[in-house]
Structure 1
Amino acid sequence: MNNTHRAFWKKYIAKAKLDLSIAAYTKVPTTWQDCDYISEFNKFYFVTEGEGFVKIRDREYYPQPGELYLLPAGIKQSYGTISQDTFGKYWCHFTAKIGELHLFNVVQTPACIKVKDPDELRKKFEQLIYYSHSDELTSEFRVNSILIDFIAGFIEQSGSVRLNLASEPAFEKMNKVLKYIEDNLARNISVDELARIAHFHPNYFINIFKHVTGYPPIQYVNRMRSEKAKNLLIMTELNVSQIADSVGMELSYFSRMFREHTGLSPTAYREMIPRTTV
């Protein structure tokens, strides 16, 4: 995945809409169990004591104190106790969706991480629990901020993370379209042309494309042009006119488009960002 494509997906997953349903600390009873069900929400389990198991898809895990587990929405899972020494755990249930897609169906991570600073995570869970019950006007901002921090930290510490661009049938077709756009930014790209690649009627294609990417096709193409232009401004000695040519745009339109996406002219952007030549 090149820098232009990666920049888009970074922004794409950041569009996830988060909604916390519950957060708590529980010393689970020996009756704590459920088998082979599919949850509509994600779960974080931060184990502080005891023992038990969780099963995600067809793999069983036996969480240890100091580990943080993610049980993704839409995935078959089970959990239960294995002795009288049951889990003590901080936990939360939340949704994280990009459009109609579950975030962790698109971003696939390992099931758990070993927490670097358990005391700090414990404090954050206490804050999450507090703000989830608070009547303060800003409490939802605080809740979302903590959830974002949990998700970002989990992804960063997971080590092995991949984008599952075939998480639904439309993604498989759209991925071909996105690759075509990426390879042809210097050309005049039409909606009809992209629809033919996906084998969809143009009107249906526009709806599916927006569902997958969050943008209408031409708006997405221009965003990719802007991302490529930013890389060229930082990493090459090409002048602005040459960069406009390389993304298939007339200079005046390119400058206007670039300003709309960044708030800066191409020249101002180059002057503000340290340049890296390769």
Structure 2
Amino acid sequence: MHLGSLFDCSPAVNFASRDTASPNVQWGPRFIPDWQFFHVVSGEVDLHLGRSRYRISPGECVLLGPNGAHLLATTKATEYYSVHFTFHSHSPEPVHPAYLIRGASAAQLDAEPERFRIAIPGAADIELMSHFAIVHVEGLFARIVKEYVRENAAYPFALRALMMELLTLVVRSVLRSQADGPASKIGPALEAMREQPGRQWTVGELAELCGYHPGYFTVIFHQEVGQNPKQYLISERIKQAKQSLLRGEPIEAIVAGLGYASIHYFSNNFKKETGLSPSEFRQRPNAVKQRTMRDR
């Protein structure tokens, strides 16, 4: 089933909680009327979905849809976040799903679940995964629960905004895993350059992170991303510099953070890669928008 474009989503959070469960607690077999994120903070949960079984560990997340029977069961004391939501809703007001949850038979539980795809403008369509690991997400779940529980003024609208942020994180995680490739041979090197773009990485250091000889590492790196490691690091620095410029950060701080020897060298490097000086990039929003679309 295709869910349409991410840009057309108008999500509504129907329920949100942070809770604990003792061992051997289970939810299901059941169908839910909406979607659910189930994020494990600590402990362990088994997911039975179709003919597949998954072990969900701390830091991992389950995404369940409305058309597939499933069973979640704790194997040890577990702390978790649970967020029920809809992708498309005219109103952001929560509609509690409890009264529309229904049981599933053993045969329904073993049936192959429906697959869901969503279009990402400027990128390829992606298939939503039923379980995955995602970083930097626990704080966002906490904010969603806080808004849902406190019901401050305009809280449904705030929940919609937070839900869009969460969906964006999930989509970017999927796109990044596709770009790196399944079980990417150079994944540790790519992650290192993204996390520490200001470091003067050598090919030997990056190759060691992946467990390869530098010569072989350079070959497979180019095969996977179409650039050599030096070119990729420059591209990553420029990408992060763009975001810093748009946030209004001082150029001196950007230069220091990205490992450039001088503002002059950074400016020349930036203009070579983008066609604009840093100040032109910051001051010309239309040019920035057009160039960003071309860079995707």
Query: TM-score, normalized by length of structure 2?
Result: 0.45
When normalised by structure 1's length, the TM-score is: 0.47
